[in-house]
Structures are given as C-alpha cells and as structure tokens.
C-alpha cells in the first residue's frame, strides 16, 4: 500500500528528493526534446504527484515538469500532454491549483484526484504514436507488478515511440514489510508486497530476519522479473538521506526505462 506524505514532507525539499528532482530536471527535457522531435508531441505521467509545490514555494515534481512543458512548447512548439494523479484529498487540492496555473498559461495538463490506476489506460491511449515518460513515486509500495508489466507490454512494447519510467522503489517499505515474515504477521500486508513484486518469492529472503542482503535480493529479484516480463532494462540507483544512512529508496530508470529507490 502506498502511504501518504503530510505537511512536514511538503514544508520544503528534503535530501532524498533532490536526486530524483535533479534527474527529472536534467533528463526529462532531453528525453522529450530528442524523442518528440518527429511527432512534436510527448505524453507524461506523474502517478503519485503530491502537491506539486512545497509550502516554501519551491517547485516539486509536478511543477518542475509543468515548467519544462511550458518552456518547450513556447520555444520549440513541442506539445506535452501531462497527467498528474494524487490520491490524498488535501494534496490533490493543492496539486489542482498548481496545475490550473499552467493550464491558464496554455499547457495541456490534467490533475486527477484518485488512484493512479484510474488513469493508466487513458494515458496509454493518449500516447499512441508518441513517446511516453512516467514518473512513479509512491511513499510505500507502488503499482501491482501485473498492472505495471501489462502496461509496459501491448502498445508500449514497441521500440518506437519509446516508453521510459522513473520508479521509486521504497526500501523502507521492503524493510518494514520484510519484518512481518518472521515477526508479528499481517497477512494482508504480506499479500500487498506479493502483489507489488510479482509473487511470494521474496518472503524466503526474510526467513532469517530483516538485513541488507535480504533487501538487496528483493531489489534484484524485482528488477530481473520486471525485465523478463517486459523486455525493459532496469537500473537501480540507491538514494540515501545522508551518506552514512541506509538507502531509503532505489531510483529505477527503465529505458525502454529508468529506475530509482528510497
Ligand atoms: C512521495 S509523495 C510524491 C512526491 C512527488 N512525486 C514529488 O517528488 O514532489 C507520494 C504521493 O503519492 C500519493 N499516493 C499514494 N498512493 C497513491 C495512489 N494509489 N495513487 C495516487 N497517488 C497516491 C500520496 O498521497 C503522496 O502525496
């Protein structure tokens, strides 16, 4: 289950967000500029968008991309279609306000309040014939494995136009849920992890308790299974709160994909 991000999270950008936002800033405009140069159109999904902007006024993931979309449309006529999804009502309200500001400036963008899974089919349908970039940044577990792999097969299986993902794979969630294997068992929680990683295979790694090797084995197993199921290549980049801390997530770019962890 993906969990929420409250007022403290949105007070200002914390260190683990700097890396993923820098990747968005540096990579997504290049991806759009290069892959969108033929059809002059790209589709972008921020499936766990949050509030769009921090309380201190700093752009968060949604506003960063809205700024790029506005700039590329005005400078080179590249048309972006942006989808932003947020489940929490308060965050969705704030996100809607930020998206509205850019829609008023001519950006084509939709803010949806609800589950990211509500919009996946619409996003894929609107991206037929053009590049698609998706940023999936849950606080906890993300899309079910089967939903994610079916999304990356079908229409998006083709080499061109390309599909790339930046995925936050939460290691904090893996550690926490891994503790249920030998500790106080919550079957529903264990099954949510089964759904997220594509089966019960991960549980055996925690038979000896929660440790770094078990967490690494889950990341490796997930990457291998997702690559096998979709033909995409995932690269896991560990992201920490501080140099001496354990990684909070892997950021996973998938070209046909990009991957990240926290
Ligand atoms: C880590 S925060 C997003 C941060 C944002 N991407 C950024 O970098 O500025 C994750 C967000 O996902 C939202 N969320 C959780 N489950 C969701 C779901 N199933 N569909 C859409 N949003 C969800 C949470 O409410 C939370 O605001």
Q: What is the value of pTM for the model shown?
A: 0.93
Distance CA 96, CA 103 (A): 10
DSSP code for 246? P
Among positive and negative, which fits the CA dihedral 15, 17, 20, 23? Answer: negative
Using pLDDT thresholds of 50, 70 and 90, give the confidence band for residue 3.
Answer: low
Query: Per the domain annotation, does 183 fall within a domain?
Result: no
Which of 184 and 31 is assigned the larger pLDDT?
31
Query: Per the domain annotation, does 218 fall within a domain?
Result: no
Closest by Cα among 215, 239, 183 to 21:
239
Average pLDDT, the chain: 91
Query: Per the domain annotation, does 51 fall within a domain?
Result: yes
Q: What is the pLDDT of residues 47-104, one digit of tens each?
A: 999 999 999 999 999 999 999 999 999 999 999 999 999 999 999 999 999 999 999 9
Q: Which atom of ligand 1 is nearest to the CA of 3?
A: 15
pLDDT for the residue numbered 2: 41
Distance CA 82, CA 178 (A): 35
Query: Per the domain annotation, does 149 fall within a domain?
Result: yes
Is residue 131 a contact partner of residue 42, using CB atoms and an 8 Å limit?
yes
Instruction: State how many domains the chain has.
Output: 1
Distance CA 35, CA 29 (A): 10
Closest by Cα among 98, 97, 198, 84 to 141:
198
Q: Which helix (H) or strand (E) holds 62?
A: helix 61-76
User: From atom 7 of ligand 1, which residue's Cα is the shortest distance away?
Assistant: 61
Distance CA 216, CA 91 (A): 32
Ramachandran assignment for 209, one of left (phi > 0), alpha (psi -120 to 50 degrees), beta (any other): left
- Calculate how far, in angstroms, residue 91's C-alpha sits from the geometric centre of ligand 1: 9
Structural domain that includes position 89: 7-171+233-261
Q: Which atom of ligand 1 is nearest to the CA of 115?
A: 20
Query: Per the domain annotation, does 76 fall within a domain?
Result: yes
Is residue 21 a contact partner of residue 135, using CB atoms and an 8 Å limit?
no
pLDDT for the residue numbered 256: 56
What per-residue string of b and e applies to 37-46 under the rule 16 or more CB within 10 Å gives b? eeeebbbbbb
Query: Per the domain annotation, does 146 fall within a domain?
Result: yes
Ligand 1, pocket-test mutation among 86, 115, 144, 239, most atoms within 8 A of CB: 86
Which of 86 and 247 is assigned the larger pLDDT?
86
Query: Per the domain annotation, does 248 fall within a domain?
Result: yes
Which of 259 and 153 is assigned the larger pLDDT?
153
CB-based pocket (< 6 A), ligand 1: 2, 4-5, 17, 48-50, 60-61, 85-88, 91, 115-116, 137-139
Residue 140 in this model has a pLDDT that exceeds 50? yes
Query: Per the domain annotation, does 54 fall within a domain?
Result: yes
Closest by Cα among 121, 92, 28 to 66:
28
Residue 155 sits in a domain of what CATH number?
3.40.50.150
pLDDT for the residue numbered 15: 84
pLDDT for the residue numbered 248: 78
Ramachandran assignment for 2, one of left (phi > 0), alpha (psi -120 to 50 degrees), beta (any other): beta
pLDDT for the residue numbered 4: 66
């Amino acid at each position: 289950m993906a969990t929420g991000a409250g007022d403290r999270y949105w007070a200002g950008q914390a260190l683990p967000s700097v890396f993923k936002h820098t990747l968005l800033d540096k990579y997504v405009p290049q991806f759009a500029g290069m892959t969108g140069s033929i059809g002059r159109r790209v589709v972008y999904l921020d499936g766990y968008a949050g509030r769009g902007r921090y309380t201190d006024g700093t752009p968060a993931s949604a506003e960063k991309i809205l700024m790029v979309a506005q700039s590329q449309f005005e400078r080179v006529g590249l048309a972006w279609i942006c989808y932003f999804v947020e489940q929490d009502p308060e965050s969705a309200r704030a996100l809607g306000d930020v998206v509205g500001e850019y829609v008023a400036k001519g950006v084509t963008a939709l803010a949806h309040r609800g589950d990211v899974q509500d919009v996946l089919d619409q996003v894929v349908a609107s991206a037929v014939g053009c590049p698609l970039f998706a940023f999936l940044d849950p606080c906890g577990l993300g899309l079910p494995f089967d939903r994610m792999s079916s999304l990356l097969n079908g229409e998006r299986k083709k080499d061109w136009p390309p599909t790339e993902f930046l995925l936050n794979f939460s290691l904090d969630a893996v550690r926490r849920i891994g503790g249920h294997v030998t500790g106080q068992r919550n079957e529903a929680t264990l099954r949510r992890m089964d759904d997220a990683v594509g089966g019960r295979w991960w549980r055996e790694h925690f038979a000896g308790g929660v440790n770094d090797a078990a967490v690494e084995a889950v990341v490796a197993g997930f990457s291998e299974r997702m690559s096998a199921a979709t033909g995409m290549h995932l690269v896991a980049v560990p992201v920490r709160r501080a140099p001496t801390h354990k990684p909070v997530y892997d950021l996973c770019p998938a070209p046909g994909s990009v991957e990240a962890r926290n």
